[in-house]
Amino acid sequence: MRYSKRAAVGSFKVFNFLFAVHIFMTYVGRFSFMAGPSMLPTFAVEGEIVIEDFITYRLFPDKMKRGDLLIVRSPIEPTKVICKRLIGLPGDIVCVDPSGVVYPSTEHVVVPKGHVWISGDNALASRDSRMYGPVPIGLVKGRVFARVWPLNSFKVFTNQISYIE
């Protein structure tokens, strides 16, 4: 009888721990592997681990700023989660060249209400808003908080971009 009570208590503790981990990874944040060339030079093609922050935008959606590194559910491949830089907020006018050429841009897009404009740092290797247009804010899961691996590349990402009217 004692053994079954201990087993039940132990199982309950394991369940509670796993439940807490699930809640944390769903609503607060998690570790994630970065892969792909679209965010070069900010992130290497592979081998980096970051901490994703989900809670900041859930609690303070108005804290989203141009230049933030967003974690977004892909609008064209819903099973994938992507990392892109926030370029435009609702109401912004974004200069776009779908070919990825940095200059001269001749196309302008107004980011509609409830959407954002995202772009990879490596325009020539990125599928982003230039390809699929403004992204619904509902697809934004959070932001990249820090790079934790490799250790010699540890960095907490702070947004240093200033907006010019």
CATH number of the domain encompassing residue 110: 2.10.109.10
Catalytic: 84? yes
**Count of domains forming the chain:** 1
Q: Residue 83 domain-assigned?
A: yes
Among 4, 63, 84, 105, which one carries the catalytic annotation?
Answer: 84
Q: Residue 43 domain-assigned?
A: yes
Residue 20 predicted with pLDDT over 90? no
- At 8 the pLDDT is 73
- At 103 the pLDDT is 53
Angle at 49 between CA 78 and CA 64, to 5 degrees: 60
Closest alpha carbon to 96 in 110, 85, 84, 106: 106
CB 89 within 8 A of CB 113: no
Mean pLDDT of the chain: 84
Q: Residue 54 domain-assigned?
A: yes
Q: Residue 74 domain-assigned?
A: yes
Among 4, 5, 11, 38, which one carries the catalytic annotation?
Answer: 38
- Provide the β-strand partners of residue 44: none
- At 105 the pLDDT is 59
Range of the domain at 144: 28-150
Question: How far apart are alpha carbons 130 and 92 in whole angstroms?
Answer: 15
Cβ-based neighbour number of residue 65 at 10 Å: 13
Return the minimum-mean-pLDDT range out of 26-40, 89-103, 121-135: 89-103
Catalytic: 63? no
Q: Residue 109 domain-assigned?
A: yes
Q: Residue 77 domain-assigned?
A: yes
The rounded percent of the chain whose pLDDT value lies above 90 is 27
